[in-house]
Amino acid sequence: MSQTTKSKTLHKRNLHNERYDFEALIKSSEELSSYVKKNQYGDLSIDFSSNEAVLELNTALLKHFYQIDWTIPKKYLCPPIPGRVDYIHYIADLLASSNANVMPKGNSVKALDVGVGANCIYPIVGNRSYGWKFLGSDIDKISIENSENIISSNERLKDNIHIVLQTSDNIFKNIIKENDRLDFTMCNPPFHKSKKDAKEGTKRKLLNLSKGKNKKVSLNFGGQHNELWCDGGEVEFISKMIRESVSYKKNCLWFTTLVSKKDNLVMIYKELKKQNPKQIETIEMSQGNKQTRFVAWTYYTKVEQEQWFKNKEKQNEQ
């Protein structure tokens, strides 16, 4: 059985462990104020079933905690920031486990975000939290353009994040070059099998967030088709990623991907076993009652993993 997370809190280094300080967030982004109201308990909050409200909350969070100006096009995926941040921090722990428990920081650490989206969240948080450099890939031209606009609008991100359009139906091919040395890849794969499944899943989520009060909840949800669904769902997408990873096993230390449904792990482990990596890890994450996880695999032994970072240190000294 995979690891079980007992805590219902976010990662200890996650800046969003405490309740939202809406007064401070509004000072960072005044546009949020029109969406903040007292809830039934007398606390300041927003309507989390409203895409507009969540968008303004994200804008304020990125401005307040990461000093980043940020926006996304309408109908594109607007991710919950705290959960996305957890993935970054747990990857930092994973890298530390390969580096004598020393957490690697700075722009010598290089990563690939597969499906960076229009929001560019993982590269932003990874760079601002640890100084890592990122390559982000996507098949959607509007996502590419918006991520590039975010980067060009923030001096802190320039030279640290590079965005590339994937023009084929591959995941790593055409993105990872022969001489690339990536410390990790990460991905939030499309987890629905079809547009119908995506709509039904979103409807259930929004009804839950609205406490069932809004029976006519809109299905005009955030997220384009490539962000939310693909043929075969996340099992097929991740299986394809695993198969492709073998061709780049010397180019990357750790391959990782989120897995939204725990039941899918059986098929994912089965595919991993076929490719025979040296080490497989399943990292459980929690946010309240929500359980998420990511799977990580490497083709390097423990000794080779430590040597990877020793070689990196030598290169930095030259």
Token digits for 2?
């995979």
Residue 247 has pLDDT above 90, yes or no: yes
| Predicted confidence band of residue 114 (pLDDT cuts 50, 70, 90) | very high
All structural domains of the chain: 76-317 (3.40.50.150)
Element of type H or E holding 295: strand 290-298
Sheet strands side by side (includes 110-114): 161-165, 133-138, 110-114, 182-187, 252-258, 290-298, 279-287
pLDDT 10s digits, 135-159: 999 999 999 999 999 999 999 999 9
Q: How far is CA 314 from CA 176, 235, 309, 318, in A?
A: 23, 39, 9, 6
Mean pLDDT, residues 221-243: 70
pLDDT at residue number 231: 61
| Predicted confidence band of residue 56 (pLDDT cuts 50, 70, 90) | very high
pLDDT 10s digits, 7-50: 568 999 999 999 999 999 999 999 999 999 999 999 999 999 89
Mean pLDDT, residues 160-174: 96
Q: What is the DSSP string of 225-236?
A: HHHHB-TTHHHH
Q: What is the pTM of this model?
A: 0.86
DSSP strand E in 86-209: where? 110-114, 133-138, 161-165, 182-187
10 vs 1: CA distance, rounded Å:
22
Neighbour count for residue 305 (Cβ, 10 Å): 20
In the chain, the percentage of residues whose pLDDT exceeds 70 is 84
Mean pLDDT, residues 74-98: 95
Residue 290 has pLDDT above 80, yes or no: yes
163 vs 124: CA distance, rounded Å:
12
pLDDT 10s digits, 258-285: 999 999 999 999 999 999 999 999 999 9
Using the structure block, give the residue that is written with the tokens 């000072």: 27
pLDDT 10s digits, 185-202: 999 998 534 444 444 444
Cβ(260)–Cβ(191) below 8 Å: yes
Element of type H or E holding 256: strand 252-258
**Phi, psi (deg, nearest 5) at residue 186:** -140, 160
Residue 110 has pLDDT above 90, yes or no: yes
pLDDT at residue number 233: 84
Residue 91 has pLDDT above 70, yes or no: yes
Cβ(10)–Cβ(16) below 8 Å: yes
